[in-house]
């Protein structure tokens, strides 16, 4: 597609429920990132997929968080047993190597509100 | 591991004045450095990047940043602020030769005073 597409754009859920957030990267982009942006905070790295390499999961805050990516296509971020502190905007970005440095194209984000 | 520190979560400057947003990095190997901007109700977009070529990097909308290895800094400047520059600015770092993650700072919100 022309840009990075994320869905849903808004999600309101009850504490304890599971949620799935989807990211559709730009076609041909080998790398895909997930970040979390809490209100008034910076971007918190969650997970990074690069091609067929094992993902870098070092930013996932707990075992309630997981993410999958099939090949170089869609990725899903799953949060199990949601807590109020999970409320945030979840940003997905994809990239194509430029000068050896990944330049990110961001999606519009999925805003998650846990009641 | 790599990290970024942005000094000042909020910066206010008068329209027409110099903009200076500070970023210091930490990296075990030479870094790639980035500035991204998030305008109100818009997604993040790349402003400029340093990839070990010229130390003074020019970006969009009149912004530039200078890589100073001795100071481990990559401060963002613009000679004359415009009202449309009001946004949140994020500095980010990754590592040369490493196929790894990009780490962002906490951001600096720039306010432009009329």
Which letter, b or e, does each residue of A76-89 get, where b requires 16 or more Cβ atoms within 10 Å of its Cβ? Answer: ebebeebeeebbbb
Peptide bond into B10 cis (omega under 30): no
What percentage of chain B carries pLDDT values higher than 70? Answer: 97
- Classified as helix, coil or strand, B15 is coil
C-alpha to C-alpha distances, B87 to A3, A87, A91, B45, B49, nearest whole angstrom: 22, 22, 18, 11, 18
Q: What is the mean pLDDT of chain B?
A: 92
In this predicted structure, the answer to whether residue B99 has a pLDDT above a threshold of 80 is no
In this predicted structure, the answer to whether residue A1 has a pLDDT above a threshold of 60 is no
pLDDT of residue B89: 97
Residue in B closest to A45 by C-alpha: B103
Nearest-CA neighbor of A42 among B101, B5, B77? B5
Per-residue confidence at B114, pLDDT binned at 50, 70, 90? very high
Number of H helices, E strands in chain B: 0, 11
Q: How far is B114 from chain A (nearest CA, A)?
A: 24
Q: For residue B31, which residues of chain A lie inside 8 Å, CB to CB?
A: none
Contact B111, B21 (CB under 8 A): no
Cβ pair A104:B101 closer than 8 A = no
pLDDT digits (tens, 9 = 90+) for B12-68: 999 999 999 999 999 878 889 999 999 988 889 999 999 877 899 999 999 999 999
pLDDT of residue A74: 94
Give the H or E element holding residue A83: none
Cβ pair A103:B103 closer than 8 A = no
pLDDT of residue B106: 92
Nearest to A102 among B36, B45, B102 (CB): B102
Task: Report which of residues A15 and A51 the model is more confident about.
Answer: A15
Contacts of A73-77 with CB under 8 Å at 24 or more apart are: A73/A24, A73/A25, A74/A22, A74/A23, A74/A24, A74/A25, A75/A22, A75/A23, A75/A25, A75/A32, A75/A34, A75/A49, A76/A20, A76/A21, A76/A22, A76/A23, A77/A20, A77/A21, A77/A22, A77/A23, A77/A34, A77/A46, A77/A47
Q: Which of A96-100, B78-82, B83-87 has the lowest mean pLDDT?
A: A96-100
pLDDT of residue B41: 83
pLDDT of residue A100: 64
Looking only at the bridges linking them, the beta strands covering A75-79 and A19-24 are antiparallel
What percentage of chain B carries pLDDT values higher than 90? Answer: 76
């Amino acid at each position: 597609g022309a840009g990075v597409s994320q869905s849903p754009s808004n999600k309101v859920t009850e504490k304890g429920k599971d949620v799935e957030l989807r990211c559709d990267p730009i076609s041909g982009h080998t790398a895909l990132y997930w970040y979390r942006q809490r209100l008034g905070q910076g971007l918190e790295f969650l997970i990074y997929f690069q091609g067929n390499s094992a993902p870098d999961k070092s930013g996932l805050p707990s075992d309630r968080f997981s993410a999958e990516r099939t090949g170089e296509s869609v990725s899903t971020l799953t949060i199990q047993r949601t807590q109020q502190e999970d409320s945030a905007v979840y940003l997905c970005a994809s990239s194509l190597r430029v000068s050896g440095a990944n330049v990110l194209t961001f999606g519009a984000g999925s805003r998650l509100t846990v009641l | 591991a790599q990290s970024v520190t942005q000094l000042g979560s909020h910066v206010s400057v008068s329209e027409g004045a110099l903009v200076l947003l500070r970023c210091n990095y930490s990296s075990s190997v030479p870094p790639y450095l980035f500035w991204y901007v998030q305008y109100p109700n818009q997604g993040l977009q790349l402003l400029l990047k340093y990839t070990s070529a010229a130390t003074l990097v020019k970006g969009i909308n009149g912004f530039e940043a200078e890589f100073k290895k001795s100071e481990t800094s990559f401060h963002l400047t613009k000679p004359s602020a415009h009202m449309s520059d009001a946004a949140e600015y994020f500095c980010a770092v990754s590592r040369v030769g490493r196929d790894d993650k990009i780490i962002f700072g906490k951001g600096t919100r720039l306010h432009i005073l009329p």
